[in-house]
Amino acid sequence: MMVKNEKLNAWVKEIADMCRPDSIYWCNGSKEEYDRMMAKMIASGSATVLKKRSNSFLFRSDPSDVARVEDRTYISTSSRDEAGPTNNWMEPAELKETMKGLYNGCMKGRTMYVIPFSMGPVGSPISKIGVEISDSPYVLCNMHIMTRVSSRVLELLDAGADFIPCLHSIGAPLAEGQKDVQWPCAPIESKYISHFPEENLIWSFGSGYGGNALLGKKCLALRIASAMARREGWMAEHMLILRLTNPEGRQYHIAAAFPSACGKTNLAMMRPTIPGWKCECIGDDIAWMKIGADGRLYAINPENGFFGVAPGTSYDTNPMAMDTVRESVIFTNCALTDDGDVWWEGMTDETPNHLIDWKGRDWTPAGKNDAAHPNARFTAPASQCPVICKDWENTAGVPIDIFIFGGRRSSVVPLVFEAYNWDHGVFLGATAASETTSANIGATGNLRRDPFAMTPFCGYNMGDYFRHWLDMGDRLGKNAPRIFYVNWFRKSPEGMFLWPGFGDNSRVLKWMCERIDGKIGAQKTPIGLLPNAGDLDLAGLDMSAENITELMRVDTEDWLAESPDIERHFAKFGDRLPERLAMQLQELRKRLG
């Protein structure tokens, strides 16, 4: 098959000549295509049919290929300074030369899939088209769910639409007669996830897992899109989007940025515990936002599905996610039950007596290892979510009222506070910190500055990214969303979580909505505006006065002790750090005394 788009045809031929697949297949996004690819993987033994869930399948990755590999992820720009201090940088010609050596013949014995996809509703002026070339049928099936793979995209390409080229290979050629393995991938030292933002180009090699291989996700929707957004005057952010409706029917749209595994999906699908309030999900991970004709900021979710962390997800923590994954789901690195279902830690109160673990071995509760990998995932269509908002595919987007930043902090940071103004809010986003989790390779529990939850995902110098946020605020003026900071994870001195979280987080969001409506005041503190006593709706919560006090406590000594770390963090950006943020740090220190 050929399309009329000469640029696309030339690119596909160039990649085929380099990678030398046995055949080329152009994808159309049909159900028949998905079913055929899945049948192929069932026959090869890489997919396990789940008898207990309709049209659902379990995959087990190679133990070396279980998460994002940030130290193998590159932003390749003409100058190192353009990539900035938070990105791994390599000179473009050198990186391409290295990767061309790896790509040379890398698809021998395999089919090369050409996957045309849209990020955002097909044909929307806010959407972008990508074409991923991959030699992995697992990637193709996941892209069916996570993006809009469609013959309609091919029609747009035929009509001359531009596209973002995304090249992926698992890096495991097959010699004639060689038997394939269950999860082919390259060794860690041969893995590269490379971005060339000046060319809107993505090259990935060696990993078949998640965002390393599903190139519409973090690679395109954040790393490349963030650079495009700066050039074009919009925003591409690592944010959930939800609609909250109060008992009077007033709608509020909230976008929130938290690092992975800090409760984004739970909040996006929250079931409020306060009577009369309703929450609907628009997206759980990524927001693309543009200023509308009325001067307000409008957001779309560019994705078509959820790629959620399974462990810890349960009917207690996120019933909407559990209902979303009842059928037509791809599970990766979960455990398999004896009756043909999936299981993971935290899913049920009772642990099964026997499982097949994520490595394919017999498992019992007496074992020392987890049955599911801590970063085990589900890939599910967003349309299956019981609380998906009717406007989640609105091509115009939804108007954002509130931005929330946050992270996983066991101390120092109170439950919630509001920024004094836009610049202060950008300062809060720019200094956000979280204790690391299993979604990242490396030690867990270390405090890591993660500005705007974008450290692994910003496709250019983050000092310039901070400036872009300030510029967007200047353009928005009085229409700018209000900015808040939350910490659901504060612990007592004895190490117990102080806040129940989950559906009760609606109480915090209610306070934010009442703040923007001017219904309630707030108390000034050195770090921002905190709820006045009695303004946070705690009706029905069994919380002691001591715990509430501790949850809201602002210790000036703790914050003063933290300020040198913020200064070191800012120093990394040198003269790219906006002076307005340096002034915010000075003002914080003055308020702390």
Secondary structure letter of residue 224 according to DSSP: I
Q: What is the rounded CA–CA span in Å between residue 583 and residue 590? A: 11
Q: So what CATH class is 6-46+72-233? A: alpha beta
What is the distance between the alpha carbons of residues 159 and 344, in angstroms, rounded to a whole number?
46
For 120, the enclosing helix (H) or strand (E) is: none
**pLDDT at residue 470, as a whole number:** 98
Query: Which member of 19, 219, 262, 279 is catalytic?
Result: 262
Supply the pTM of this predicted model. Answer: 0.96
| 240-245/278-283 β-pairing | antiparallel
b/e per residue, 437-469, with b = 16+ CB within 10 A?
A: bbbbeeeeeebbbbbbbbbbbbbbbbbbbbbbb
pLDDT (tens digit, 9 = 90+) per residue, 123-165?
888 899 999 999 999 999 999 999 999 999 999 999 999 999 9
Which residues lie below 8 Å from residue 404, measured CB to CB, with a gap of 6+?
A: 254, 255, 256, 257, 483, 484, 485, 486, 512
Q: Encode pLDDT of 494-527 as tens digits.
A: 999 999 999 999 999 999 999 999 999 999 999 9
Helical spans, DSSP H, in 370-445: 422-430
Comparing CA positions, the residue from 258, 257, 261 lying closest to residue 445 is: 261
Q: Which of the four pLDDT bands, split at 50, 70 and 90, describes residue 442? A: very low
3-state secondary structure of 241: strand
Angle between helices 556-571 and 579-592 (to 10 degrees): 160
Whether residue 308 contacts residue 261, with contact meaning beta carbons closer than 8 Å, is answered with no
Pairing of strands 416-418, 523-525: unpaired
Say how far apart CA 362 and CA 252 lie, in whole Å: 48
Look at residues 459, 353, 482, 344 and name the one whose alpha carbon lies nearest to residue 405: 482
Share of the chain above pLDDT 70, in %: 98
Task: Tell me which of 3.40.50.2300, 2.170.8.10, 3.40.50.720, 3.30.70.1170 is the CATH number of domain 306-381.
Answer: 2.170.8.10
Instruction: Encode pLDDT of 169-198 as tens digits.
Output: 999 999 999 999 999 999 999 999 999 999
Q: Has residue 443 got a pLDDT over 50?
A: no
Mean per-residue pLDDT, 78-106: 98
* Distance between CA atoms of residues 453 and 219, nearest Å: 15
The per-residue DSSP string of 457-480 comes to: T--S-HHHHHHHHHHHHHHHGGGS
262 flagged as catalytic: yes
Average pLDDT, the chain: 96
- 3-state class of 315 per DSSP? coil
User: For residues 522 and 530, what is the distance between their CA atoms, to the nearest angstrom?
Assistant: 6
Rounded to an integer, what distance in angstroms lies between the CA atom of residue 282 and that of residue 393? Answer: 8
CATH code matching the domain that covers 236-305+390-592, chosen among 3.20.20.70, 3.90.228.20, 3.40.50.2300, 1.10.940.10? 3.90.228.20
Residue type, 508: V
Question: Quick one: three-class SS letters along 347-379?
Answer: CCCCCCCCEECCCCCEECCCCCCCCCCCCCEEE
Q: What's the rounded mean pLDDT across residues 399-425?
A: 97
How many other C-beta atoms can be found within 10 angstroms of the C-beta atom of residue 245? 17
Tell me what the mean pLDDT of segment 380-404 comes to: 97
In this predicted structure, the answer to whether residue 439 has a pLDDT above a threshold of 60 is no
Q: How far is CA 265 from the centre of its chain?
A: 9
Structure tokens at 384: 């299956």
| Secondary structure (DSSP) of 188-246 | GGG-EEEEETTTTEEEEES--SHHHH-TIIIIIIIIIHHHHHHHHT-EEES-EEEEEE-
**What pLDDT is recorded for position 124?**
85
Contact 226, 140 (CB under 8 A): no
Q: What average pLDDT does the segment 298-308 reach?
A: 96
Q: Cα–Cα distance between 206 and 212 in angstroms, integer? A: 9
How confident is the model over 372-387, as pLDDT tens digits? 999 999 999 999 999 9
CB of 421 closer than 8 Å to CB of 343: no
Q: What proportion of the chain, given as a percentage, has pLDDT over 90?
A: 95
What length does the chain have? 593
pLDDT at 126: 87
**Integer angstrom CA distances of residue 93 from 8, 76, 458:** 22, 9, 21
Burial of 275 (0-12, 13-18, 19+ CB in 10 A): exposed
> Where does CATH 3.40.449.10 sit in the chain?
6-46+72-233
Residue 127: per-residue pLDDT: 93
Provide CATH 3.90.228.20 ranges for the chain: 236-305+390-592
Residue 2 has pLDDT above 80, yes or no: no
Q: What is the pLDDT at residue 1? A: 67
pLDDT given for residue 526 in this prediction: 98
**Measured distance CA(415)–CA(45) in Å, rounded:** 47
